[in-house]
Structure 1
Amino acid sequence: MALQNKSVQKESMQQKEEVEIYSPWREAWRKLKKNKMAMVGLGITVLLVIVAILAPYIALHDPLKVDLMKSLQPPSSEYPLGTDRLGRGIFSRIVHGARISLRVGLITQSIALIIGVTLGALAGYYGGWVDEVISYLINVFLAFPFLLFAIAIMATLGPGINNVFLALAIVSWPGLARIVRGQVMSLKSEEYVEAAKALGANDFKIILKHLIPNCMAPIIVTVTLGVASSILAEAGLSFLGLGAQPPTPSWGLMLSSGRSFIRTNPGMMVYPGLAIMVTILGLNLFGDGLRDALDPKMKDN
């Protein structure tokens, strides 16, 4: 009897391990780890987050302190990337600029996530006139080019980093809503949804606890890629003078202020441009890797 109990316990433990091994999220992480470019993107993304969190400790100088006596200095031990026209350390401003970029990406996509998931889930679940109205709004918003629409909104609201959050959220939610709508429409006829209805669950509970959790894979991918788009759009708006305003250490604003010194001090444009390029590349690589890992149709080679 003791041997039988031990064998039964061993079999149950093996079954539990198999369930854990073949968990969808565990399987997605396994696929993601096999994608070298995705892991490079993840590393860049993690580095961006660390730099943003520890910016006051990493930066060597106050990014807002003006010292005209040290204007346009070349790279040195004191200023690793040199100084700008006001004597501010370019390295310190780039480090603090990571905070601005990360805030823009996360806050913008958080707002877009709330709006897009809510409207998309309602349209996909209820259909009928609700779907027609929401789909019409989605099509109207998607009819405008992303950046031009953001510029138009910023021209109406006025420049400022807080208005950037709102403008980019407004232009970001329609794509997310359309994805969620399609997912919910395909899932609402599944057996587990019918079983929840038979047990008396209301529409709110069905959408929140059964439908949206099963849409998380495309939502995560879309939001990850959306963070990259938002960071790039903020840099463009700040470059045009519609985003962050001086003396905020925004990468786009640094590019704009360095235009006049492209020949005499090219580092004023090159270094923030590289920061933008590496950040967007990392997020896009990570987002593409997530898409491949979370897509059940993708198979290992």
Structure 2
Amino acid sequence: MSDPTTGSVATTSTVAPEKAAPEGAAPKKQDKPRGLLGDAWYDLRRKPLFWIAAAFILFFLAMAAFPSLFASADPTHGLLERSRGNPSGDAWFGYDVQGREVYARVIHGARASIIVAVLSTVGTILIGGAMGMIAGYRGGWVDAILSRIADVFFGLPFVLGAIVILFTFNAPGSSNNQWRIMGLVVMSLVVLTWPVSMRIMRSAVLATKEADYIVAARALGAGAGRIIFKHLLPNCLAPLLVYSTILVGSFIGAEATLSFLGVGLKSPVVSWGIMISEAQQYIRVSPHLLLFPATFLVAAVLSFVTLGEAVREALDPKLR
């Protein structure tokens, strides 16, 4: 319309009214921002290798926990008349030298291998993580002493050190109790591998302890215990958990190696390493004695290593 005072033409604009929400409709919720673990889980769900590795790991854990669900035969009962029998409908994986069913022994062998690997991983993470936390948080001479002790253990060759430890505490003629031998194997693995987890935790603590929220907590009077357990540990645990997943697979292979060399688990314990050791003399005439336990061993190791690599990539923003 025309303005009588200026003679100019004024324009009016109309604003469309906002649409009212329907009666009874719930207000729209805004998506909450995801944290580190939420982002990692969102990334892992889209990785096929993660689901494949997780499925294999669940399968091996079920074998270790409930072997009777997969095999009904006694893994220690053998008949010499069926020695080195080939795979058939009655025995899918054939029979070993003493006439024991290889399939039942492969299924029951998962228990000893996984128990040793899990216990060794827990011990390594607890000892190495605790020492890494102390070294990184305290610094100074404490850090120097703990780091030099770790360097000493780093200098020990793994296989040679394990052989020395196991021969020292399990000399010929000593008790053959299976739990005692498993405990010695676990102890040797923990003693020789804890420095790696110690360095991982130490580096994570050094990178985190000067963060603003740590400085603020210290300024507010928080003690060392509260800072470590409330702030440092939750924020430094992710790389150690990733390493522990990979470590389980590595320890399964390490146990098999020590059993193959004759210094680890021994019969009547059933493990994949013992089966491979017993089959080495019959590779040409009866390759199935080596093929099946070695296949399960490789699959278990690769499953844990693949899962650990997938989790590591999901937790590290630089690798996404």
* TM-score (norm: length of structure 1): 0.91
Correspondence 1:57 to 2:82: no
Instruction: Tell me, in whole angstroms, the C-alpha distance in 2 between the residues paired with 1:222 and 1:114.
Output: 13
Match of 1:229 in 2: 250
Match of 2:107 among 95, 103, 109: 95
Could you tell me which amino acid in structure 2 is paired with residue 40 of structure 1? I
What is the alpha-carbon distance in structure 1 between the residues aligned to residue 210 and residue 142 of structure 2? 18
Distance 1:198 1:263 in 2: 71
Opposite residue 175 of structure 1, the aligned amino acid is V
Q: CA deviation at 1:106?
A: 0.8
Q: Deviations over 1:132-180 (max 9, x none)?
A: 0110011111122333322222222227222101000111211000010
2:135 to 123, 136, 158: 123
Per the alignment, residue 186 of structure 2 pairs with 165
Which residue number in structure 1 is paired with residue 228 of structure 2? 207
Could you tell me how far 1:77 is from its partner in structure 2? 2.1
Distance 2:304 2:197 in 1: 17
What one-letter code is carried by the residue in structure 1 that aligns with 2:313? D
Partner of 1:141: 153
CA distance in 1, matches of 2:49, 2:169: 39
Cα offset for 1:212? 1.2
How far did 1:193 drift? 1.3
Offset, 1:213: 1.0
Aligned residue runs from structure 1 range 174-193, under 5 A: 174-193=195-214
Amino acid in structure 2 at the alignment position of 1:10: P
1:196, CA displacement in angstroms?
A: 2.0
Task: Could you tell me which runs of 5 or more consecutive residues in structure 2 were left unpaired when the two chains were aligned.
Answer: 1-19, 172-180
Determine the C-alpha separation between the residues in 2 that align with 1:35 and 1:148. 39
- Residue 285 of structure 2: aligned partner: 264
Q: Find the aligned partners of 1:233 and 1:272 in 2 and give their Cα distance.
A: 15
What CA distance in whole angstroms lies between the structure 1 residues aligned with 2:158 and 2:42?
Answer: 34
Question: Structure 1, residues 37-78: CA drift from partner, whole Å, max 9, x if none?
Answer: 233222221221122122122113111113223221111222
Aligned to 1:10: 27
Deviations 1:241-262 (A, max 9, x none): 1111112111111011111211
Q: How many residues align?
A: 291
Structure 2 distance, partners of 1:149, 1:212, is 31
Counterpart contact for 2:131–2:198, Cα < 8 Å: yes
Q: Which residue of 2 aligns with 1:245?
A: 266
1:66 aligns to 2:87 (yes or no): no
Q: Counterpart of 1:169 in 2: which secondary structure?
A: helix
Look up the SS of the partner of 2:239 in the other structure: helix
Q: Percent identity?
A: 35
Query: Which of the two has higher C-alpha Rg?
Result: 2
Going from structure 1 to structure 2, the CA distance change for 1:34 and 1:148 (only over 3 Å counts) comes to farther
Q: Helix, strand or coil for the counterpart of 2:32?
A: helix
The answer on whether the counterparts of 1:179 and 1:218 sit within 8 Å (CA) in structure 2 is yes
1:288 matched to 2:309? The reply is yes
Query: After the TM superposition, which of the residue ranges 76-85 and 38-47 deviates more from structure 2?
Result: 38-47
> Which digits, 9 at most, give the CA deviation of each residue in 1:23-44, with x for residues without a partner?
3212111212222223322222
Under a length normalisation based on structure 2, what TM-score does the superposition of the two structures give? 0.86
Contact 2:283 2:290 in 1 (8 A): yes
Q: CA deviation at 1:201?
A: 2.1
Aligned partners of 1:161 and 1:245 also within 8 Å: no
Q: Within 2, Cα distance between the matches of 1:151 and 1:33?
A: 42
SS at match of 2:90: coil
How far apart, in 1, do the equivalents of 2:75 and 2:281 lie? 20
| 8 Å CA contact retained: 2:86, 2:94 | yes
Residues of 2 paired with 1:262 and 1:111: CA distance?
36
Q: Which amino acid aligns with 1:82?
A: G
SS at match of 1:200: coil
Which moves more between the two structures, 174-183 or 210-219?
A: 210-219
- Correspondence 1:154 to 2:166: yes
Find the residue that maps to 1:18 and give its secondary structure.
coil
Shift of 1:184: 0.4
Separation in structure 1 between the aligned mates of residue 307 and residue 118 of structure 2, nearest angstrom: 15
